[in-house]
Structure 1
Amino acid sequence: MNVSHFSRRNFLQTSAALMGAASCSWLPRLATAAGPNPERKRSCILLWMSGGPTQTDTFDMKPGHANGGEFSETETNVPGLKFSEHFSGLAQQADKLAVLRGMSTSEGDHLRGTYLMHTGQRPGGPLNYPSIGASLAKTLGRRDTTLPNYVAVNPSNFLNGAATGPGFLGPRYAAATVGARGGQPMPPADGDAAVQPLADLGVDFLSLPAGIDQSRHDARLALWKQQQDQFLSGHPSGAAEAQATIFQSAVKMMHPEAASAFDLSQEKTNVRESYGKGTFGQGCLIARRLVERGVPFVEVTLGGNGLGWDTHQNNFNTVKRLSEELDQGWSTLMTELAERGLLETTTICWMGEFGRTPNINNNAGRDHFPDAWSCVLAGGGIAGGQAYGKTNEAGTEVTEGKTEVQDLLATLCRAVGVDPETEHYSPQNRPIKISEGTSIDQVLS
């Protein structure tokens, strides 16, 4: 049994059906007071673009060139810095964004590229490395919390679980998964017009089943703990310990205080709609709710029901739709974090597994391209209002500020106040640094 791939979500479905959970009101936290607190630990939100977004149609436009495509540039609130016309919201927050236009990696396969960007390591070696989410959750997280320290919202069904997994850190640092549960229709604005359902995201099996009250639930937990402790004392195996760890994490999430963090019905309708009605926008709202409760790492995927940005054909229609969804969710997330005093302690990273070819193929699409592409950093610890790195006129190669994945991860670590040379130990007691790259000081504040 590969314990690093043991699914917390699957175990939740089994354990919670047996155990149930209590429910009570969340005690509200005053995020506006907590945000500026110098003792508040930082958080990171990774916006993962499954499939590989096209840099030349988003943050590194090539107007006037044959590779430029159909989209126009739009001015931002930073003179000289321009984005796609479909980023009207982000354009007004460009002063908080640092675009890394010199990304260059060597993996053009979806699974291999996803693993590389999440771990900084190429797949296939003898060691299963932790994702950056697991590493930062271990470094920034707390053990005395009922909430998980690493949450993945709407992760791609096409990803190798090892890419976003805890690797050799073990299941204690695995991501808790939040998924779509269908649609929740919203009342029409005019009383009779049909409306698009508002995506319903959440974690299943976090409430008590019918007929199970709190005392019965607590008695079952006590019995389980007694039996589990006896079993572990006589069977000290990795698989048994992994099962116990995941169960204990599941029970913590079933606590009413934790469960309420995922309950979007507590938000006003107009707030929910401001993020966008799809799973990405609602995922950004969950990310905001988790960050204000102290969760150190949240990953939200756009394109998670497939490889949404994998635009080998019909590139421009698809990218227009995805860009508009991205712009609404991301810009609203930053606005709300800023209003709550949380943006200065929350770093946002936008990336996919690679970029896409500058040239347009015969199917009006763009293909895989890891040689020269873009990522974006924003928020806390980031000196926004700039583009670092440069590609040539055709967008085919990096001419300035070439950035490798280890450099990106080192920069991200610095932005959230973590030394990228922090070492975690493998099962063979080998020290492994979070990143061996060089942070980009020009984009750090």
Structure 2
Amino acid sequence: MPSLHGPSSALTLSRRDWLRGAVGVVGGSMSGWLAPFAARAAANPARKKSVIVLWMNGGPATIDMWDLKTGHKNGGPFKEIEAAPGVKISEHLPKLAKLGKELAVVRSVTSKEGDHGRATFFARTGYNPVGAIQFPALGSVVAHELPREGNDLPGFVSIAPRRFAGEIGGGFLGPKFAPLVVGEGAVGPDGLKVPNLERLAGVTDAAATDRLKLLEGLEEKYGEGRGGAVVENIQASTASAVRLMRPEAAAAFKLDEEKDKTRETYGRNLFGQGCLLARRLVERGVACVEVTLDGWDTHTNNFEQVKGLSGTLDAAFGTLIADLKDRGLLDSTIVVCMGEFGRTPKINGGNGRDHWPASWAAVMAGGGIKGGQVIGKTNADGTAVEGNEVKVPDLIATVCKATGLDPTKQNMSNVGRPIRLADPSAKPIEGLL
């Protein structure tokens, strides 16, 4: 069973809560319940927004994807194709080009972090590491601020992560808002499974209920005279695991329920199936899903690697946008495609590109984002931002604003200092919302 942590706020579980959870697990599936529920949720005008982050791990060469410099010696061999009036992207992203009116390409992102670990932390939290403050990931912030009461699924799910600097999770918001990690270390789509969601063979309904009651008693006994966040987190972790084991929740992870054609269109690879799983999760009310496409650290042989990775990204990202739109979910789902930094405009001796945080691009779609446009620009050789500079915390503030959150809202940190959802210097990107 995966580690599903509880909240830092006070929480106690009654015997009634436990038995209700036990009955949900052992009582079998409520046939026909999930699909109508998902359909009604998608159509609900009051539906809370969700976020999908397509994380390009290793730092993608955005100069070869979203901001080509054709004709310049830094430009490389790729050609441009038109995605929307005034928006040109790589020829190796043809499916996304056809959906260009949904895409906002932010070409003027800049930061000072060129180390993978620090840059990843910065891009995923909007803050640089500062002393003992445990900053939460963007997904944890969204899950905390947009709770789905009564949803058995976790608020934040991370699919196939590759972590340079350890886990970036709930931070001072508490382990309840850390991601449920699915498929870490997996090499193929068959690895996208949550282990131990089903009972062992031979364990009857009655036996399962008795075991849960026994565990409840042990945890209550352990908590006597102790109290505090540790006990509360243990109890909440068990309760979360019980809810996730319910057939209706566990079914969200069963990709074999999808048509073969749908799975093929997303791509029969880890990232493609991860994006399909992301759609299934936000359809069922998950607040934030992060899907990782690894391999962008292209110090050598950049162009062949970027070409292949672009094909994987194009199929999955393009299908995801179209699928969300067809299901009425695109307006309530913000999709962000980014990595921790870009790659050097100058091509190195190994026909590769090195780390380059000074000028790079990110792409956003859905959730009220105004598509079919380019935000900002870089200079002729791609080495510097030339207009409408966007800093990493600005991206965080934009996502907050797009989901209906106030980026200046504060939460109390683990050191007793109030911390805003986005850095105090952050501003939502003008013209994007």
In the superposition, the TM-score normalised over structure 1's length comes to 0.88
State whether residues 81 and 97 of structure 2, in contact with CA within 8 Å, keep that contact through their aligned partners in structure 1.
Answer: yes
1:140 to 125, 139, 146: 146
2:258 to 250, 267, 270: 267
Q: How many residues align?
A: 411
State whether residues 32 and 339 of structure 1, in contact with CA within 8 Å, keep that contact through their aligned partners in structure 2.
Answer: no
Aligned to 1:160: 165
1:214 is displaced (CA, Å) by 1.9
State whether residues 81 and 88 of structure 2, in contact with CA within 8 Å, keep that contact through their aligned partners in structure 1.
Answer: yes
1:161 is displaced (CA, Å) by 3.0
**Counterpart check, 1:117 vs 2:123:** yes
Q: Describe how 1:256-295 pairs up with structure 2 within 5 A.
A: 256-295=247-286
Q: Describe how 1:82-93 pairs up with structure 2 within 5 A.
A: 82-93=88-99
Aligned to 1:230: 221
- How far apart in 1 are the matches of 2:40 and 2:150? 21
Aligned to 2:179: 175
Aligned to 2:62: 55
**AA matched with 2:65:** T
**AA matched with 1:271:** T
**AA matched with 1:432:** I
Relative to structure 2, which stretch is displaced further, 272-281 or 200-209? 200-209
**AA matched with 2:246:** H
- How far apart in 2 are the matches of 1:122 and 1:35? 36
1:264 is displaced (CA, Å) by 0.6
- How far apart in 2 are the matches of 1:85 and 1:309? 18
Relative to structure 2, which stretch is displaced further, 34-43 or 369-378? 34-43
Aligned to 2:10: none
In the superposition, the TM-score normalised over structure 2's length comes to 0.90
Aligned to 1:15: none
Aligned to 1:322: 309
**Counterpart check, 1:72 vs 2:79:** yes
Q: Describe how 1:242-391 pairs up with structure 2 within 5 A.
A: 242-303=233-294, 308-391=295-378
State whether residues 128 and 162 of structure 1, in contact with CA within 8 Å, keep that contact through their aligned partners in structure 2.
Answer: no
Relative to structure 2, which stretch is displaced further, 134-143 or 393-402? 134-143
Q: Secondary structure at the match of 1:441?
A: coil
Q: Secondary structure at the match of 1:318?
A: helix
- How far apart in 1 are the matches of 2:297 and 2:228? 41
State whether residues 4 and 238 of structure 2, in contact with CA within 8 Å, keep that contact through their aligned partners in structure 1.
Answer: no
1:181 is displaced (CA, Å) by 9.2
2:399 to 386, 393, 412: 412
**369 and 181 in structure 1: CA distance in 2 versus 1, 3 angstrom threshold:** closer
**Counterpart check, 1:441 vs 2:416:** no
- Deviation track 1:27-55 (CA, whole Å, cap 9, x = no partner) reads 23344543242211110000000000011
State whether residues 137 and 150 of structure 1, in contact with CA within 8 Å, keep that contact through their aligned partners in structure 2.
Answer: yes
- How far apart in 2 are the matches of 1:440 and 1:277? 35
State whether residues 413 and 420 of structure 1, in contact with CA within 8 Å, keep that contact through their aligned partners in structure 2.
Answer: yes
State whether residues 181 and 202 of structure 1, in contact with CA within 8 Å, keep that contact through their aligned partners in structure 2.
Answer: no
- Deviation track 1:47-75 (CA, whole Å, cap 9, x = no partner) reads 00000001111101000000000111111
- Deviation track 1:263-299 (CA, whole Å, cap 9, x = no partner) reads 1111111111110011100000000101111111000
State whether residues 151 and 299 of structure 1, in contact with CA within 8 Å, keep that contact through their aligned partners in structure 2.
Answer: yes
State whether residues 42 and 327 of structure 2, in contact with CA within 8 Å, keep that contact through their aligned partners in structure 1.
Answer: yes
RMSD across aligned positions (CA): 2.1
Aligned to 2:206: 215
Q: Describe how 1:189-200 pairs up with structure 2 within 5 A.
A: 199-200=190-191
- How far apart in 2 are the matches of 1:10 and 1:41? 23
**172 and 94 in structure 1: CA distance in 2 versus 1, 3 angstrom threshold:** same
1:399 to 383, 386, 403: 386
Aligned to 1:42: 49
1:131 is displaced (CA, Å) by 0.5
Q: Which runs of 5+ in 1 are unaligned?
A: 1-6, 12-18, 184-196
1:144 is displaced (CA, Å) by 1.9
- Deviation track 1:75-129 (CA, whole Å, cap 9, x = no partner) reads 12x1221000110010011111111111011111111100000111112522010
- How far apart in 2 are the matches of 1:300 and 1:198? 12
- How far apart in 2 are the matches of 1:214 and 1:255? 13
- How far apart in 2 are the matches of 1:121 and 1:108? 15
- How far apart in 2 are the matches of 1:439 and 1:151? 25
State whether residues 424 and 434 of structure 1, in contact with CA within 8 Å, keep that contact through their aligned partners in structure 2.
Answer: yes
Aligned to 1:27: 33
Aligned to 1:4: none
Q: Which runs of 5+ in 2 are unaligned?
A: 7-21
